[in-house]
Structure 1
């Protein structure tokens, strides 16, 4: 962020200094609400969350902060820390973030949706950074604390900033998009989440569609076009729109989707072959959204497509090819026998398993993926790659846009977790 004076912060927030500010007022070079990461000459926002930030005012002063924004009386006098009183410090942090966002010269991309926000955000960043300079919000910083943090940390001269917009209560997306005022907004998908607050699936769609409220004039909405009701929800805002999805009616659509050891392969609009180093059909959708954003920010078609192949994976130590692959989250192979060893079957059992048609177990008439995934791993353990591949393709064909494997025909009902399928694909 650009340096900002305490007088400017006072005026933007209509804050009341507890003591007169010196003239000229000091310049702040950073803003934060966590004393562990607060930088010298920063402004500390004492927000209330799991703890009360006012209790950490002494630590903020010790970290070199020059001022604090507070909404209650400080517990002790801190003569070297200017105090600016506001009605709500948490809301005030969003207001100053919106002010600082307006000083950014590059494009802001904001990603919303029920699932795939973080993956899509990183894919967009991976595509853009090959030719442009910019940053993206770390981890899943997608609420009214994380979004301001990402804006504060952005270089105002960068070409782009990619933000993630989350929600679990009505109005949160609208609030965050007014802070971010994106040039490009992305809605990955909408599924039945946080229904205790959002009501039903249509409530989820309307909540995510409200990202359009902050979209800048001539901004672009990139939206999953496989959901007709989501398209209806965004239509009221009349945004300039590009759709993506599996259906050929979308402007960008993925087809011929396959999973293999390198990742997910698919074809875009019947013209370009793409591989994404991530597993599952949903990865193709995330990559499509990233391609649309890359084209909007003036990358060529070739640049937008090719960069999807080189998304940097998490760094890992070199591995002996003879060693078993370690699933994500495990620090050591599960025992000396390796991952697949417990699934090895007698040869005659493998022959019977390989000869069976691929289908999911149906306890209540709905296919469950776990038995098929286990069968695939047992076949792989026996070296029977062809029938194992058929089982893995069956799983991939049934994966939903949100990454789940649907166990019910209705999108309103529960889904089975993908853990076993992900292990089988890996």
Structure 2
């Protein structure tokens, strides 16, 4: 790998001291995944990273970014000593951004951030050198870490920016110094921290404050809060580029869902582009149109990007599809267990409804974990899922967690397949509840731990082979 930071460059960027010279090829905050040549960043979160510096160096770290010399680490150890580790990581991020000629795209939204980031990364990689985080690194340490890892010769960087509370997005967007900013959607998520959908929209719109002068604001035109987003973008001096269904520069003209995927017709500034996605989903179709809008804003080849969508697949836990050979026969698993809110669950219902069981007795089954951080109205939001149009195509619902009890109670008896208080209980029971040909959607907030059901099904398949 090529050199990313020398001790002199890193010290100059952070104002720190590096008594022992080093040259690094990357950065890491986790000794479990650290690679030789990385700078280990000793952040203090649930645990103090200084406690793991010696281990990182033993694993081949080029240096450690620290605020003090940890116990047991000798004077000959390659350290970059700073006043505050997180602030120094942000300094490295600023320096990395300043030294590159890359265009930087920031993506936020209540739903679809990571999938859109990965879709954009995929098509950009066919048109130049693209840099993006390998995971959903979108918070106060994930954004600076992603920027600090950016090679100087990158052509484009894609930065995901998330939030849980007011005031989080603006400083991260400014740190990234964006050329293009995207808001995928604004939906009922994190309502514990916001008093309304408008409050969520204002926080999402703060991404536009990080745009460079003349930068492009890519905005979903189909939202209740679109006018608010446009107003904030205009105040930031951004050039708007709207995507959506009607009256937009980037228009989703048609999306046809089938077992085999999604066929899309998009119009970008009046030019039609056909796209094929390997998985069903109207939400994926809209994300794909947003990606084409970004490609247009960057002045790249929109037609090539549309063609390159065909071999994109979503990240793990965000809508992947796989066949599992259980002892009773094959079932199809739709793994969407990474996160959930009412909008994304509705989108997952549409995908499940469009996926046909593979046997005459096969059923469409939705295993649903709690949607978290929805605030005082959480019970009504859970129960309200029973009214989604696509749920009529679902044969059985497995409700997992105390909040999903509200949905279970709102469903007709014929759709109530099972209810469990915990994901662990559901994981233990579910393999025996299924039959050959079933299609099983697993969806829930990360904290609901409904991914345990996914793990249990995969383990049952391993044992059955």
TM-score (norm 2): 0.66
2:240 paired residue number: 241
- Structure 1: how far apart are the matches of 2:137 and 2:228? 28
Which runs of structure 2 are paired with 1:206-285 in the superposition (5 Å)?
Answer: 206-226=202-222, 227-246=226-245, 248-269=246-267, 271-285=272-286
- Which digits, 9 at most, give the CA deviation of each residue in 1:58-80, with x for residues without a partner? 11221233543323562334223
- Which digits, 9 at most, give the CA deviation of each residue in 1:73-128, with x for residues without a partner? 62334223244443431232122122112222322222111110111111112222
- Structure 2: how far apart are the matches of 1:249 and 1:74? 59
2:332 paired residue number: 326
1:5 paired residue number: 6
Residue 326 of structure 1 aligns to a residue whose secondary structure is strand
Query: Are residues 198 and 61 of structure 1, via their aligned partners in 2, closer, same or farther at CA, if it must alter by over 3 Å?
Result: same
Query: Are residues 339 and 98 of structure 1, via their aligned partners in 2, closer, same or farther at CA, if it must alter by over 3 Å?
Result: farther
Stretch of structure 1 that moved more, 30-39 or 181-190: 30-39
- Which digits, 9 at most, give the CA deviation of each residue in 1:323-353, with x for residues without a partner? 85511349xxxxxx97762559xxxxxxxxx
Shift of 1:253: 1.6
- Which digits, 9 at most, give the CA deviation of each residue in 1:234-262, with x for residues without a partner? 3321201211012x122112133321122
1:55 paired residue number: 51
Gaps of 5+ in 1: 331-336, 345-362, 378-417, 422-426
Query: Are residues 92 and 171 of structure 1, via their aligned partners in 2, closer, same or farther at CA, if it must alter by over 3 Å?
Result: farther
Stretch of structure 1 that moved more, 145-154 or 42-51: 145-154
2:4–2:26: 8 Å Cα contact kept in structure 1? yes
1:395 paired residue number: none
1:184–1:219: 8 Å Cα contact kept in structure 2? yes
1:126–1:312: 8 Å Cα contact kept in structure 2? no
- Structure 2: how far apart are the matches of 1:364 and 1:143? 30
- Structure 2: how far apart are the matches of 1:145 and 1:219? 24
Shift of 1:178: 2.3
1:341 paired residue number: 361
1:97–1:152: 8 Å Cα contact kept in structure 2? yes
Q: Number of residue pairs matched?
A: 350
2:106 paired residue number: 110
1:373–1:420: 8 Å Cα contact kept in structure 2? no
Gaps of 5+ in 2: 337-356, 365-382, 398-439, 444-465
2:323–2:330: 8 Å Cα contact kept in structure 1? no
Shift of 1:371: 4.7
1:38–1:65: 8 Å Cα contact kept in structure 2? yes
Query: Are residues 339 and 34 of structure 1, via their aligned partners in 2, closer, same or farther at CA, if it must alter by over 3 Å?
Result: farther
1:194 paired residue number: 190
Query: Are residues 39 and 420 of structure 1, via their aligned partners in 2, closer, same or farther at CA, if it must alter by over 3 Å?
Result: closer
1:353 paired residue number: none
- Structure 1: how far apart are the matches of 2:189 and 2:301? 36
- Structure 2: how far apart are the matches of 1:240 and 1:166? 22
- Structure 2: how far apart are the matches of 1:84 and 1:135? 25
Shift of 1:302: 2.2
- From 175, 180, 192, the equivalent of 1:184 is 180
Q: Relative to total residues, which structure has the larger strand share, 1 or 2?
A: 2
Which runs of structure 2 are paired with 1:7-406 in the superposition (5 Å)?
Answer: 7-15=8-16, 17=17, 21=19, 25-71=21-67, 74-226=70-222, 227-246=226-245, 248-269=246-267, 271-312=272-313, 324=330, 326-329=332-335, 341=361, 343=363, 367-369=387-389, 371-374=391-394
Shift of 1:170: 2.1
Residue 99 of structure 2 aligns to a residue whose secondary structure is coil
Stretch of structure 1 that moved more, 64-73 or 135-144: 64-73
1:277–1:313: 8 Å Cα contact kept in structure 2? no
Query: Are residues 185 and 43 of structure 1, via their aligned partners in 2, closer, same or farther at CA, if it must alter by over 3 Å?
Result: same
- Structure 2: how far apart are the matches of 1:140 and 1:195? 21
Residue 214 of structure 2 aligns to a residue whose secondary structure is coil
RMSD: 3.5
Structure index of larger Rg: 1
